[in-house]
Amino acid sequence: MIDYAVTDPATGLVVKRYETATDAQVATAVASAGEAYRQWRLVPIAERAAMLRKVADRYASDRERLAEIIIREMGKTTAEALGEVDLCVSIYAFYADNAEAFAADKPIDVASGSAYVRSEPIGALLGIMPWNYPYYQVARFAAPNLALGNTMLLKHAPSCPESAEAIAEIFADAGLPEGVYVNVFATNEQVETIIGSPVIQGVSLTGSERAGRAVGAIAGREMKKLVLELGGSDPFIVLDDADLDAAIAGAVAGRMGNAGQACNASKRIIVLDAIYDRFVEGFVAQVQALKVGEPREGGVAFGPLSSEAAAAQVVGQVEDAVANGATLLTGGGRIDRPGAYVQPTVIADIRPGTRAYSEEIFGPVAAVYRVADQDAAIRLANDSPYGLGSVIFTTDDVRAQAVAEQLEVGMVAINAPSQTQADLPFGGVKSSGMGRELGEYGMAEFVNRKLIRRA
């Protein structure tokens, strides 16, 4: 049985527990989403967009309260929590402004008569969301699909029930009819039942590779459309002509933001030999200077990890790396205080075949690699089961383009850490998943592209 509860990772204390849905409640939720779809799809897209505008306005007007919820749930700093709420405002506003244009009929040139493709919704969807960005992960799935005319059930992470309820309340306050967006505190077994229901036409999961494979197997068996946004071990490549100060600052921000708990964080720092020693010296010094503490405290770079289990996992991966020949440059352990705090950490000399080489480390741990040249950097960057994002630092635009074209990833950022924007597509390849979210592509997944042809 999944235990839905808010456990403050800064103290380890359980703030509130929530009841898991019964099978009857799950069945009612599924039926409600199916029934609502029949009417929601007929609502003019301009009216649906207007409701999303109200959602954006509600996030903006209630940002402090909403931020406090996710500080309690997973230990974000106040600045990062407020930033996440503001990002949601931009996402809902973006689709409110652009949904009608994105879904407009697309004419096709034909030899005789006329033809066009109409973008239509496909039905009720299931969203399975993680804990690391409790509002943002939902927004990038919900905004485009609700605008298009799909309805949805949302199963949030067991550690995020308070934010899950807050999201559902916002949609209701914005005027969405009952059943259009339904929050459900389901178990894993109930999720399998939901996916198998003929009412559900698609599934979107953001989470671990393990969860993606499990849900993907069920969705494939049930012939359901699937979008997966999974893990990453993103390379951060520093070429020998890079602005070293900018690259160091970018690497610290790209790796340590949200306590390193981001799928598109820069987890592998790959530096050319000619500048490696200078880069590492400056990088380690800046990592050591990071202030870790209570998330509401001013000037804190990051707070605790999301849970005791998460902290133990990260420290265990670091200890395994060192036991297998890696060099610990700084950090590596827990911080001596109550809560799930982990030291900002840098490790080097990671050997192929070890856990740290191939696994995603979901915490404030940077793995630094020395390579001989640009080609070696590209080979190492691609030597991963993941292919989500990447970063390249160089002052040569031609080199940047050449490297970007050879990376086996879904996203490349040049001379800046990976960033998320409402208008930019997000997604990866290989074990990082399939499909895209955000931007115009966010409305291109759970859609029926219906051909209409006139003789």
Catalytic residues: 229, 263
Q: Exposure of 217 by Cβ count < 10 A (0-12 exposed, 13-18 middle, 19+ buried)?
A: exposed
Q: Furthest-apart CA pair in the chain: how many Å?
A: 75
Distance from C-alpha of 238 to C-alpha of 394, rounded to nearest angstrom: 7
The sign of the CA dihedral 157, 162, 168, 170 is negative
Task: Tell me how far apart the terminal alpha carbons of the chain are, to the nearest angstrom.
Answer: 58
